[in-house]
Structure 1
């Protein structure tokens, strides 16, 4: 739970009893490559924290998967609108590689908050992360070309190119796999010049 505690400690410090309550409130789950954690149409009652691994957020658009984001170690995941308003979700979460996740169910979270109210920070962090993620994705598509989005991804999360299948990277960038190959060649040529 080191990454989870470290993430929470950037916002608040926890004493021993709060740490124990936290440990008892979460469930650790391990997923194999390509497992689906959560699917559209369901009502979300869980918040996830990626301890180890990589998770892809995608939407099903007319039968095609459209990748919206990748979550890696130290990030919270929450189908926020579904979780908050008890409505069916439109998103899906799929594991890209073997992944360890800590899960906070709504019931366990409520019990935790009744005993340690300051731990409501967990829901706030998850919600803030989702909002920031959405804003970054929207801003990227509104203000940047596919090549600029590729370069940004390479500079900020370059390890994803070794962890994630190229078709998901292409989908995330909003291009076909063939266009992604051309972009890679252009960026590589520019870096060699």
Structure 2
């Protein structure tokens, strides 16, 4: 399974045996159970995560209700960016939606990898750019699309999420109630 980790990273940049050895040396593999919290708001982030297998939900607590902002699946990096960068308490929470295997890079080990080789700096840059683009797409969808249009786009671009993620989290991600999501599904799917 950790071989998947290397295969996903090879999508960013070619890696030789020495690079692979260093990645394993400076990371830790951890498995989270379904619904287990990975990281909670109020803490300072010292780690970057990489999803080898599973699904992780990013959510915020808003007036006592959690609001889903994003889902991370295989091949994606996860980081509470502002907290990690500026060492301030995080506003976000990360939760395993299903049994999830993550590779974890501590800040110290990340710094070592970045010093060792420009390849790792390139991976970090590409991962950051991908995260930024994903965030911009989500913001744009809320500004330019209706809930039904966002549902159709999610169905077309990442339909497998509907089999992996509970409906209430999908509804929250789309910015609607579970009841409204049911009505949208009826209209779209007939």
TM-score, with normalisation over the residues of structure 2? 0.94
Secondary structure, in 3 states, of the residue corresponding to 2:157? helix
* Corresponding residue of 2:133: 132
Q: Would you say how many aligned residue pairs link Structure 1 and Structure 2?
A: 189
Moved over 3 A (4+): none
* Corresponding residue of 1:28: 29
* Corresponding residue of 1:76: 77
* Corresponding residue of 1:160: 161
* Corresponding residue of 2:86: 85
- Cα deviation, residue 111, structure 1: 1.9
Unpaired runs of 5+ residues, structure 1, are none
- Cα deviation, residue 141, structure 1: 0.4
CA distance in 2, matches of 1:121, 1:81: 20
TM-score, with normalisation over the residues of structure 1? 0.93
CA distance in 1, matches of 2:131, 2:97: 19
* Corresponding residue of 2:107: 106
- In the TM superposition, 1:33-44 aligns within 5 A as 33-44=34-45
Secondary structure, in 3 states, of the residue corresponding to 2:82? helix
- Cα deviation, residue 81, structure 1: 1.3
Secondary structure, in 3 states, of the residue corresponding to 1:88? coil
* Corresponding residue of 1:57: 58
Instruction: Please tell me whether the aligned partners of residues 76 and 125 of structure 1 are also in contact (alpha carbons under 8 angstroms).
Output: no
CA distance in 2, matches of 1:85, 1:27: 23
RMSD over equivalenced CA pairs, Å: 1.3
Unpaired runs of 5+ residues, structure 2, are none
Instruction: Please tell me whether the aligned partners of residues 44 and 86 of structure 1 are also in contact (alpha carbons under 8 angstroms).
Output: yes
